[in-house]
Structure 1
Amino acid sequence: MSQNILITGGAGYLGSILVPRLLELGHKVTVLDNFMFGQDSLNAVAANPNFKVERGDCRNESTMKSLVKMADTVIPLAALVGAPLCSRDEIGTVTTNRDAVVMLTKLLSKNQKILMPITNSGYGIGESGKFCTEESPLRPISLYGRSKVEAEEAVLAHGSAISFRLATVFGFAPRMRLDLLVNDFVYRAVKDRALVLFESHFKRNYIHIRDVTKAFVHGLEHFDSMSGEAYNVGLSDANLSKWELCERIQKQVPGFTFLEAPIGEDPDKRDYIVSNDKIEATGYTPDHSLDQGIAELIKGYTMISNSKFSNV
């Protein structure tokens, strides 16, 4: 059944893949975005009569009031994403990542649905050899992680909502992000043929951007049975350390060299392995492997070479 879907931050990395897919499925999609990165990621859908776009700020209550009136479902993608960007603008992080979402929940009726993406960096430092499940304690370390965890609390308290705890996303998109771990490492392998690692033993989970879109579509289609819960979204065969990730990249980029040096630290302290059993039990399965994503990125980086595609 066709829905009216409002997506804040819909011109960003996730939205640039999600919006065209929802339109393809026959939904009516309205995007609110401030276009802070000057992106033109939704140009290809401008001709679609089911697509509407507003330039504005998701923190503006009057703007949001007028937009939510006709929405069956809201997907709040608008956020300052990643620990480095969030530490640079702490006020913007709290007001966008948390406060705007809290306001949204107060504007919506209980019949209006929310599909919320957060980050599984909320798990912080995991226990060695023990999978993080949705029942594991949330111990975010960075402001980014804390703001998203607090937003999840508000969304789940709304009742008619699903929260997706996303693994580290990778893959090519019209609004590209070069600062995400896999995207960054493949870029450096292709362009520099060398990479210096810190905390190379730290493990995390990964997921392709198109499989994130698939999770949102799955949530729309199975909302009644999934509502009120949080779900990890990642590749169950891709709980890898940074060193192991580089080994996978090296198989596709001959001559890529990497080494360890004590030169930095992860502001999120992400070091955990994640179980995706809960969402897989609902019938969701990812379509894109890590190796396929690496191959895709290699092709993409043949076409671009520009730091404007980073958030920081």
Structure 2
Amino acid sequence: MADGQKILVTGAAGYLGSILCEHLLDQGHEVTAVDSFAHGIPSLAHLCAKPGFDLLRADVRDSGTMKPLYTKHDVVIPLAALVGAPLCAREPEAAVSVNLTAVETMLSVLGRDQRILMPITNSGYGIGSKDGYCTEESPLNPISLYGRTKVDAEAAVLAHGNAISFRLATVFGMAPRMRLDLLVNDFVHRAVTDRSIVLFEAHFRRNYIHVRDVARAFLHGLEKFDTLRDNVFNVGLSDANLTKRELCEKIKEQVPALQILEAPVGEDPDKRDYLVSNAKIEATGYVPAYSLETGIAELIMGYRMINAKRFTNV
């Protein structure tokens, strides 16, 4: 399919969407952005003057609005979701209706020639093996409602076909709709404001990826859709499979005053612990452009202008 596609992005005003929509427009696509703007942040204001951009304030659970909208686009990128284990645990009914039921509604009206680029979390791996890497073929073992809804949504999308699913590592970096509850973003914020981080279960491992590299993965999927279709891809930094302690040491390199404390008692409510292989997407030519170190430096600068209370999903 040629460039200049008509692309519908739901959850477009969110952390990823506010970056992705700009990338899509810059590549010459027409973008219709849908969001409920429940967070009250005008995170797409910088795009309103761009040619090819349209904006609709709507809830993806409003099937009367969404069903005819889905059918008018070449590509659908369903970003709308309640993101994160704490938020989904607090609002379980909304988590299911937005993360899964709305996706099933979308699939019920999409034609077989319409393309889907689906974001999933690699938290579906839950607790990986002690030393092995989770690949796209590894068993899924989600340990939170958030993980379960995303795994189920992925299964539905892949069963429908003509889709690519991206299993995203923990995302970091600055965005117009900022999130401070993501691990790297949170730890850097604590480092620059409190100069201390208290770790629970510091040996737990995660993989990480910059928000702009996630957007670049979606562009990669669009460009090579015919080759990549009906596949699942982990998207993360292969040199950033780190324990929480190792992440803090990376931050301390740029915030030398940081005190890293390991709690002798207590536990992390988020029990995810795994190593992730990103070799499959790298073999298709995708290469991340932003390192963890550059992301930490970016966040340190960005936090000079952040009001923390407005930018969290927790």
The TM tier, using the shorter chain, reads over 0.9
Residue 303 of structure 1: CA displacement? 1.9
Residue 48 of structure 1: CA displacement? 1.6
Query: Which residue of 1 is the match for residue 55 of structure 2?
Result: 53
Question: Which of 230, 233, 238 lines up with 1:231 in the alignment?
Answer: 233
Query: Which residue of 2 is the match for residue 272 of structure 1?
Result: 274
Secondary structure at the aligned position of 1:54 is classed as strand
CA-atom RMSD in angstroms:
0.9
Residue 116 of structure 1: CA displacement? 0.4
Secondary structure at the aligned position of 2:247 is classed as helix
TM-score of the superposed pair, with normalisation by structure 2: 0.98
Query: Which residue of 1 is the match for residue 20 of structure 2?
Result: 18
- 1:132 and 2:134 are equivalent in the alignment: yes
Residue by residue, what CA displacement relative to the aligned partner does 1:177-229 show, whole Å, maximum 9, x if unpaired?
Answer: 00000000000000000011101000010000000000000000000110001
Residue 263 of structure 1: CA displacement? 5.2
User: What stretches of structure 1 move > 6 A for 4+ residues in a row?
Assistant: none
In structure 2, distance between residues paired with 1:29 and 1:202: 39
TM-score of the superposed pair, with normalisation by structure 1: 0.98
Residue 264 of structure 1: CA displacement? 4.3
Secondary structure at the aligned position of 1:184 is classed as helix
Query: Which residue of 2 is the match for residue 88 of structure 1?
Result: 90
Structure 1: runs of 5 or more not aligned: none
- 1:31 and 2:11 are equivalent in the alignment: no
Secondary structure at the aligned position of 2:232 is classed as strand
Check the 8 A contact 1:33/1:78 in 2, yes or no: yes
- Tell me which amino acid in the other structure corresponds to 1:20: E
Number of residues of Structure 1 aligned to a counterpart in Structure 2: 312
Secondary structure at the aligned position of 2:207 is classed as strand
In structure 1, distance between residues paired with 2:288 and 2:109: 33
In structure 2, distance between residues paired with 1:181 and 1:203: 11
Query: Which residue of 2 is the match for residue 72 of structure 1?
Result: 74
Q: Percent identity?
A: 64
Secondary structure at the aligned position of 1:147 is classed as helix
Matches within 5 A, 1:108-147: 108-147=110-149
Check the 8 A contact 1:238/1:290 in 2, yes or no: yes
Query: Which residue of 2 is the match for residue 214 of structure 1?
Result: 216
Check the 8 A contact 1:17/1:210 in 2, yes or no: yes
Structure 2: runs of 5 or more not aligned: none
Query: Which residue of 2 is the match for residue 298 of structure 1?
Result: 300
Check the 8 A contact 2:88/2:95 in 1, yes or no: yes
- Tell me which amino acid in the other structure corresponds to 1:148: K
Residue 265 of structure 1: CA displacement? 3.5
In structure 1, distance between residues paired with 2:170 and 2:38: 22
Check the 8 A contact 1:168/1:204 in 2, yes or no: yes
In structure 2, distance between residues paired with 1:265 and 1:149: 25
Query: Which residue of 2 is the match for residue 175 of structure 1?
Result: 177
In structure 2, distance between residues paired with 1:63 and 1:257: 51
Check the 8 A contact 1:142/1:267 in 2, yes or no: no
Secondary structure at the aligned position of 1:206 is classed as strand
Residue 305 of structure 1: CA displacement? 3.2
Query: Which residue of 1 is the match for residue 246 of structure 2?
Result: 244
In structure 1, distance between residues paired with 2:155 and 2:64: 24
Residue 102 of structure 1: CA displacement? 1.1
Residue by residue, what CA displacement relative to the aligned partner does 1:121-143 show, whole Å, maximum 9, x if unpaired?
Answer: 00000101100000000000000
Check the 8 A contact 1:197/1:261 in 2, yes or no: yes
Query: Which residue of 1 is the match for residue 109 of structure 2?
Result: 107
In structure 1, distance between residues paired with 2:266 and 2:110: 43
- Tell me which amino acid in the other structure corresponds to 2:159: A
Check the 8 A contact 2:71/2:111 in 1, yes or no: no
Query: Which residue of 2 is the match for residue 200 of structure 1?
Result: 202
